[in-house]
Each structure stands twice: as structure tokens, then as C-alpha cells.
Amino acid sequence: MNVKVTQENLHNALTSVSRVASQRSALPILSNILLHTEDKSLFLTATNLEIAIRVRVAGKVEKDGRLAVPARLLNDFISSLPKGTLSLAKTKQFSLKVSMKNYESTINGFDPEEYPSIPAKAAGEMIKVESTKLKQALQQTTLAASTDEARQTLTGVYIHTANDHLYMVATDSYRLAEKKLAANKKSLSHNVPATTMQEVLRNLTDSSEEKVEITLSENQAVFDIGPAVIISRLIDGKYPDYKQIIPASSETTAEVDREEFIAVVRVASLFAKESAGSITLKVQEDAQEISVEAVASQVGENTSSTPATVHGDGEVSLNSRYLLDALQVMTSEKVVFSLSGRHNPCVLKPLEKPADYLHLIMPLKS
Amino acid sequence: MNVKVTQENLHNALTSVSRVASQRSALPILSNILLHTEDKSLFLTATNLEIAIRVRVAGKVEKDGRLAVPARLLNDFISSLPKGTLSLAKTKQFSLKVSMKNYESTINGFDPEEYPSIPAKAAGEMIKVESTKLKQALQQTTLAASTDEARQTLTGVYIHTANDHLYMVATDSYRLAEKKLAANKKSLSHNVPATTMQEVLRNLTDSSEEKVEITLSENQAVFDIGPAVIISRLIDGKYPDYKQIIPASSETTAEVDREEFIAVVRVASLFAKESAGSITLKVQEDAQEISVEAVASQVGENTSSTPATVHGDGEVSLNSRYLLDALQVMTSEKVVFSLSGRHNPCVLKPLEKPADYLHLIMPLKS
């Protein structure tokens, strides 16, 4: 191997792939990054066997080659170098020599044949989503996925088609987030691990010019994001019929400024630590306000309120963390908070019509 | 108690004092902040018995009072409130009622009589130091103080007078930092805990207009920093005669760009993890450069170099962390690195004359 690349390009590519290379895997080779050349380009690959990421690095390949190099040392080393052109060469048996003006290092690596093979991209349905739209959709849904491996189906973000539109959904059974994306007529029903989605998120930029290609086949999701390709397994099993728990209408609705709602809930949550974050919201038509109280507390008492456009009275107890999480991933200036008594799910939506996001939170008993 | 203050003023004061209020003290009352009024002002006080901090909060006292309130909850709560005027009132027995538009909270507190009394300011020698100069002096010295409680004398920053100037010094016996401050004829010799100095640092602003008043008496150091007063015990015992280990001259000197020196040392340190950070520096008159090598490593090899104006050849092994620490707290564009063979201390100084800072590092055996 003999390759010339800039420090900036290599550093950016390493930032993406080295997150996936685990230091704690039972298979020590997975703490390495595979460097290989193909079609006159340098590629970096890392995998944790659930997900693989491969990034093309712009540069000049003078001689082909292949080797595995410790991810952490390579990443720390390249990020410490000054800007400029680097020369990468394979020396000795499996060592990588990195040289640039004033710097010469050799990093001991491993036989690339020990590195697991990365599954090829399978044929499947391909959809294109604008990078910024996908970023928002993932930020607004992944938070609601379960982290409990015993409930594997709920640890995914469910991509599917309904009413000729693409939807992304996640739920841990205490809360549910549903994002409506662009019109789409392909029949899709794929459950992508939320951990994959978090890796996709980290690779998304804010440039709305770029489109991400998502290829969904029976067992695989592939995300083409500029120079990076992320390949992930899918989660087996039928996703629950979540639509049935979304209330068709509500007894009480309040239109409220999102930032102000966040402020009052955050203050109340400080007094709700003993009760695991439980707070009580009172929506009052007479006062045209939402008031928030921390449930009985040894440390003190708190009542905060914020003005709202209210129809109908109502009261409900919620986990303040879930409510804050939801309000913080929303982007609209105003939100609609709806409830139907103390025992039914609450719903948050942006005020704008048509609302493309819905966040449902189950009430707490109190 | 009945006091009106702005959220900003109270928040700033709480940020200073709540760091000192320990959550982990054997004395639970110390996790509280004492609020009291005096001379028509509100004061917040916290102590960990080693150091006490008292901050005056601008505001309007309508009724005097005194109570102790949990530091963490009060700080989290006030920092979550919007900007505006707050009303603080003592209610029930020892509770603090905080109210502002849309918010009303009561925080359960404690009897202020349980709070330990803060020592009064003793008479002593008073010196004034510009805030920015003191900040730099503390940043450049505290890092060299020992954290080993078994060597108590070395856990301080030693303030003393020599050659009609004020000096601050710290050493853990592996490295030593000495800062020369303004002309001063008072005879001073006081050892202030480095932990106190870190607290002083956190309260210093970048405004060079402000002067800090330091009052040093036999057992106490008092720092008056704008609205804050920090009162600390001193460390007993004679500070070592450190001057004798500073070499009067050196066989080898190298003038080098500080940022470039940091870069090559940082890269070498990545390869020196197995050898506890040990790196070897070679200063070469012929090549007019400093080259840095990580000592024999399983992970690979590294040689980096940086151009320097060199007089005399020399080689020495140092702990790369100590060298990085020193270079990072220095501020001059160029530094002078001096050594005298493999067994004598190395010295770093700013290139500017007269140099007001000296950092000495003991060599490693290799």
C-alpha cells in the first residue's frame, strides 16, 4: 500500500469509522480499522458485527494494499497531526508507516485476513431522503425507542409506508414518536436498530442539498451518505400495531409556547426527584393556562404556570423527563398538548398544519 | 427575611458558592448555603471547613433574616428560572419561598444556627494584584502542586517575597513552577492550599480593571474578589528551599515555537502510553532541531521533530504529560528549553526578557 491523503480528509473519515470500532469486543480484531484500496481509492472500514461503516477517503493511491490498524491509536495520532499531506505505506509485515514533514511513525497492525468480511449490499427498495429531513426525523424518533434488549422489537425505528407516505416510528411502550416523511408508494415495513440510526445521525450533515439513499432489503438496511456507507442488520418480528393507541380525539387541548412549556416543566422536575420525575399538569380553560406541580416532595413544593390557549379542563400526571425529551426534539414555536383525563395517553404535536410529528406519552398513576 | 433580587445576580452568586458546598461531607449541614442579610445586603455563604466563600448579592432587603438551604436544589432551581426579579422570603420555620411571575416554590431548609461559624478576617499584610495577572499566575503554578496529602507542604502554592518581588511557587518534587509578580517589599512567606487557589481561579474574571486584595495573616489567607470573599486556612510548616534545585546555567538551550513543540510532544505521547508517558528529546545543534521519540513501544514507533535555534547538543527523557502541562499554561509564542545532560533538571522559560516564569521538570531514568 502506498497512498497520499490530506490530514483533514483522513481525520474526518477516521472520526466516522472509529466510533464503530469497539474497544470492548470479545473479538479483539474489531478494535481495528481495515484500510484497503479499491478502484484507485482508499477505504476505511469498521464493524461491530451489527453494523458496518465504510468511508471513502479522497486521495491518491500509488500502490494497492490492505491491512488492519488499531482504531484508537490511529485516530488519536492522525487527529494530533498538523494539516498537510500524509503518506501512508505498508511496511514490515502488517505495519502502517505514516509520514509527513517533521513526523514519521510506524503503527503495528494486523493481518487483514483476520478482519471479518462485510456483507455486500443486497438488492432492495431504494428511497431518497433529504439529509436535513432525515436528521430531524431521526432526532425526533430514536429517543422513544426502548433500550431494553429483552424487548427487541421495540429497540428499533420502524420505517413503513401508510397512506402513500413514508413514516418513521419508535416506542418503548411508555411513549411513542411518529414522524411523517415524504410521499412514497413503495410498500415498506422494516425495523432498523435505533443504535444504527444513532450512527446514521452522527454522519448526517446540515446540508439540505445532500440526499441520503436508503436501501431496504429483507435482512439489511444500507445508508449511502456522501462518502460513507452504513450497512445494518434489521430487527426480526412484527412491529406492534401502534396506530390503535393513538387517540383519535381529545377532551382537552392547550396551545402553548414550546420554550415556556420547557421552562416550567424543567423547574417542576427539580422538585420531582423523589417521585422519579412524576409531575402533575393542570390544564385550565378559565385561567387559560397550564400549571405544573411536582408531586408531594420532602425537599419543598413548586407550582409553575404558563399561559396557553385552552379548550376544556383536564389534569394528568406524567414523567417529566419524557415530557422534556419530547418538547426538546420538537422545533415549532408553539405546540398542541392534548389529553383526555388522568388515564389516557397525552399527545404533543406541532401547532402548524399539517402536523408531521406526533409524540404520545402514557400517563402515570397518581 | 424578605429580599428582592434579579435571577441573574442570584444565579451568578450561587454558581460561586455552591461549588464549595459539598454533597459528600460528613457534616450534612455543609451541603447547604447560608443565606443572611447584613447592612441591607443579601449574603450567600458556603464552607467545607478548609475554605469559606461569601458572596454579596445586589438586591433590595425589605426584612432581615437568616436560614440554610440545600445548595444543589437551590442552584438548579434558580438557574432554571427565566430572567427577571425574584422575591425570597422565609416561611414556616426554616423554608425559603421563592416567587416570580408564573413560578412559586418553597424549598425546605434548616436552622441557620446549625451552620458552622465562618472565621472573621484577621489583620495581616495586604497585597493587591491585578485580576488577569493573578489568574495567569495561578494557572501557571497550581498545576505543579502535589495532590498527595501525605506531603502536605507540597500541596500548597507558596507566596513569598524575594529580591523585592512577589513570587508564587508550586512543586510536587517532580516539577516546579515559579511565577514572578509585581515589586513588593513586604516580607511574605505563606503557603496557601492549591485547592483554595483553584477556587480563587474560578472566581476571577478577565477584567484587568479589577484588583484582587489578598490579606495574609499567620493562619489565614483572605481573597477579596469583587463581591466575593474567600477565606482559607494556610498550610503549616517550612516550605522547602526550592531555589537550590533551579540550575544557574545549562549546557544546551533550544528556542522553539511553543505550539509546534506542543504538537510534536503530543504525537510522541500517544506512543508512550506503555512507558507511562516517557519520551526522549534530542536537541541537535547541527540540525537546529528538537526531535522527540517515544521510548520503545509495542504499538509502534514515532519520531517527530520541530525546528529550533539550538546551542549545544543534549538528550533527556521526560514525562510527556509534565512537558505538555507546562507548555500549555505558558503564553509566549516562543519558549526556551534548557537541559544539562540526562541527569539534571530541564527548564522551560518564555523567550521574552525579563522572563517572569520558570518551569522545571526532573528527568526520567531511561
Contact B267 A77 (CB under 8 A): yes
Q: What is the DSSP letter of B244?
A: G
For residue B70, list chain A residues with Cβ-Cβ distance below 8 A. 299
Question: Is B208's pLDDT higher than 90?
Answer: no
Alpha-helical segments (H) within chain A? 7-18, 71-80, 131-141, 194-203, 258-270, 320-329
Structural domains of chain A sorted by starting position, each given as residue range(s) with its CATH number in brackets: 2-114 (3.10.150.10), 126-244 (3.10.150.10), 248-361 (3.10.150.10)
Residue B228, beta-bridge partner list:
B55, B225
User: What are the chain B neighbours of A76 within 8 Å (beta carbons)?
Assistant: 270
> Which residue among B73, B95, B267 places its CB closest to the CB of A103?
B267
> Residue B340 phi/psi, 5° resolution?
-140, 75
* Residue whose entry in the numeric block shows the C-alpha cell 465504510: A54
pLDDT, mean over chain B: 94
Which of A108, A267, A299 is nearest residue B108 as measured by Cβ atoms?
A: A299
Residues of B in contact with A80 (CB under 8 A): 263, 266-267, 270
| % pLDDT > 70, chain A | 99
- Alpha-carbon dihedral of residues A343, A349, A351, A356, nearest 10 degrees? -150
Whether the pLDDT of residue B296 is over 70: the answer is: no
**What is the complex's ipTM, to 2 decimals?**
0.85
User: DSSP secondary-structure letter at A90?
Assistant: E
Among B245, B251, B216, B212, smallest CA distance to B231 is for B216
Query: Cα–Cα distance between B79 and B71 in angstroms, integer?
Result: 12
> Taken in order A67, A70, A72, A76, is the CA torsion positive or negative?
negative
Q: What is the pLDDT of residues B113-136, one digit of tens each?
A: 999 999 898 899 999 999 999 999
Option in A267, A298, A306 nearest B81 (CB): A267
Taking residue A216's Cβ as centre, other Cβ atoms within 10 Å add up to: 20
Which residue of B267, B292, B293, B297 to mutate against A (max A Cβ within 10 Å)?
A: B267
Indicate the burial class of B208 (C-beta count within 10 angstroms; 0-12, 13-18, 19 or more).
exposed
Distance, C-alpha A187 to centroid of its chain: 23
Q: What pLDDT shows up at residue B92?
A: 79
Cβ separation of B108 and A298 shorter than 8 Å? Answer: yes
Residues 6+ positions from B113 with CB-CB distance below 8 Å: none
Query: What is the residue-wise DSSP string for A131-158?
Result: HHHHHHHHHHHGGGS---GGGGGGGEEE
The upper half-sphere exposure of residue B45, i.e. CA atoms within 13 Å in the direction of its Cβ, equals 24
Write the CA distances from B20 to B32, B33, B44, B151, B347, integer angstroms: 10, 9, 11, 23, 35
> Which residues of B sit within 8 Å Cβ distance of A?
70, 73, 76-77, 80-82, 95, 102-108, 263-264, 266-267, 270-271, 298-306
pTM: 0.90
Rg (CA), chain A: 25
Percent helix, percent strand, percent coil in chain A, to nearest 5:
25, 45, 35
> pLDDT digit string (tens) for A11-56?
999 999 999 998 788 899 999 999 999 999 999 999 999 999 999 9
**Residues in A touching B107 (Cβ below 8 Å):** 299-300
Percent of chain B scoring above 90 in pLDDT: 88
Percent of chain B with pLDDT over 70: 99
The string of pLDDT tens digits covering residues B181-203 is: 999 989 999 999 999 999 999 99
Distance, in angstroms, between B155 CA and closest chain A CA? 32
Closest-CA residue of B relative to A79 is B267
Q: What is the C-alpha R_g of chain B? A: 25
* A175, amino acid identity: R
> A111: which residues sit within 8 A by CB, 6+ positions away?
A67, A68, A93, A94
pLDDT at A296: 66
Q: Which of A100, A103, A298 has the highest number of chain B CBs within 10 A, making it the mutation to test binding with B?
A: A103
Please write the tens of the pLDDT for every residue from A205-259: 777 678 999 999 999 999 999 999 999 999 999 999 999 999 999 999 999 999 9
Please tell me what DSSP assigns to residue B260: H
B264-284 pLDDT tens trace: 999 999 999 888 899 999 999
Per residue in A141-178, pLDDT (tens digit) is 999 999 999 999 999 999 999 999 999 999 999 999 99
Q: What is the mean pLDDT of residues B294-309?
A: 88
At residue A354, the pLDDT reads 84
Yes or no, beta carbons of A104 and B303 under 8 Å apart = yes
B205 pLDDT band, cuts 50/70/90, is confident
User: Which residue from A80, A106, A266 is facing B267, i.e. has the nearest CB?
Assistant: A80
pLDDT in tens, A177-207: 999 999 998 999 999 999 999 999 999 977 7
Q: What is the DSSP string of A236-286?
A: -SPPP-GGGGS-S--SEEEEEEHHHHHHHHHHHHHT-TTTTTEEEEEEETT
pLDDT > 90? residue B178: yes
For B305, the closest chain A residue by CA position comes to A102
Give A79→chain B minimum CA distance, Å. 9
Residue B209: predicted pLDDT: 74
CB pairs under 8 A between A and B: 88
The pLDDT, as a whole number, for residue A209 is: 74
- Residue A299's pLDDT band (cuts 50, 70, 90): confident
A299 contacts B105? CB cut-off 8 A = no
**Interface contact flag, A267 B107, Cβ < 8 Å:** no
The pLDDT, as a whole number, for residue B283 is 98
